[in-house]
Amino acid sequence: MRWVSLILLALILLWQFPLWLGKGSWIKVWDLDRQVDYQKKVNQQTKTRNAVLDAEVRDLKKGTEAVEERARSVLGMVKPGETFFQIVGENSLPASSTVESQSHTKTK
């Protein structure tokens, strides 16, 4: 009777092996589920970015305001007769002070 029990136990283990560690095992299914969830998140982020870019392209094609805004922010352009003012925060130093402080630290 003991041999029969051992043989049945061995058969059960051989039958369970592919379920836990084989080609279509639970571990691989779990890993694939994690990969699918990650890819869905990446796809959603990409869709959001594409929607923003699409809206920007449509705005650039139809309106001149977006072109003007981009020329002002990226290229620093101003309209004729406009005066450009740059507001500097309290914590920032003028360019000459920055150069002087760097030259003092190099000479020490």
What pLDDT does 52 receive? 95
1-5, 29-33, 64-68, range with the lowest pLDDT: 64-68
Residue 99 pLDDT > 50? no
Using CA atoms, how far apart are residues 79 and 72, in angstroms rounded to an integer? 9
Using CA atoms, how far apart are residues 60 and 78, in angstroms rounded to an integer? 19
Q: Does pTM top 0.75 for this prediction?
A: no
Higher-pLDDT residue of 98 and 89 is: 89
Q: What is the pLDDT of residues 38-83, one digit of tens each?
A: 999 999 999 999 999 999 888 878 877 777 887 888 887 888 888 8
